Amino acid sequence: MTQPQASVLALASLSHPGPAMRWRNEAMRSHATGRLIQITKGQGRVTVAGLTSGYGPNNLIYLPPQTMYGIEIGPSVFGHILTLPDTKGWPDAPVHLRLTDVWLQKEATHFLDQIEKELLPAGDPAAAHLWLGLLAIFIARQDRAQAVTPNDSRHDSAAAKLVARYTQLIARNFAQDRSVADFAADLGVTPTHLARCCRQITGRSALALLQDRIHFEACTLLRDTKAPIRQIADQLGFRSAGYFTRSFQEKAGQTPSDFRRASPQAK
């Protein structure tokens, strides 16, 4: 069986002016496949599994499949997002590396340059697969080295761990018409406690995190497919197309139909 091919996308392609397009980067989302974000220039904030941190040049952010995240991408930020169809051999948890050593920066850049080269039409997918394996080893080694002197103790708090588990549940079940109370029951806590932890760790409510993930999927389906709005509403767990339209308009400031007409299609 042929291994699905990785792909590379420039971060600049996700940066669009205006609040209507912020869903392209800042909104919380998750993917069925892994992602590696490489920052080469600029700085901003990234939220991974509910925890917000700053990023800057020479940062690598690895996101396993079904990891909720959102990232600010301003006009001065440059880098790439590498889509990873196969994450076997990669870390099980998210990794944020800040490479301060020049030799490590060069090594990481070399791996990524070779992968991008082999993904071109003239490249060799088998060679790209091998380079991806070497990059996975590099990420895992640097993650272990960073763990020796952890730089962010917030990950170890009970609240952060609960919010991380909550975002994992959202990533897998956001389209099942489930309430925050339903997720809280799955986690063995009260909705009030879950809401308090989300506010403490993310500065946002538990409901806002859930709605953000649903909204991102709605925007993606409206932009990338020709599915009828009624079908999209049903796919996302809304009980009626009218309820979906009202909910979408409240968040986006425009109806699903207007959003679809105004959105640039994915390349």
Note the maximum CA span of the chain. 56
Instruction: Quote the number of domains for the chain.
Output: 2
pTM confidence score: 0.81
Is residue 247 domain-shared with residue 230, that is, in the same domain?
yes
Is the per-residue pLDDT at 267 higher than 60? no
- 203 assigned to some structural domain: yes
Domain that holds residue 19: 7-151
Query: Of 123, 151, 179, which one is at a domain's C-terminal end?
Result: 151
Is residue 87 domain-shared with residue 164, that is, in the same domain?
no
pLDDT tens for each residue of 212-260: 999 999 999 998 899 999 999 999 999 899 999 999 999 888 999 999 9
pLDDT for the residue 51:
87
**Quick one: average pLDDT of 30-53?**
92
The percentage of the chain sitting over the pLDDT mark of 70, rounded to a whole number, equals: 89
The residue that leads in pLDDT, 149 or 84, is 84
pLDDT tens for each residue of 154-196: 667 899 999 999 999 999 999 998 999 999 999 999 999 999 9
pLDDT for the residue 266:
44
Query: Of 112, 136, 151, which one is at a domain's C-terminal end?
Result: 151
Is residue 27 domain-shared with residue 143, that is, in the same domain?
yes
pLDDT tens for each residue of 61-103: 999 999 999 888 888 999 999 999 999 999 999 999 999 999 9
Is residue 162 domain-shared with residue 146, that is, in the same domain?
no
- 1 assigned to some structural domain: no
pLDDT for the residue 252:
86
- The CATH number covering residue 86 comes to 2.60.120.280
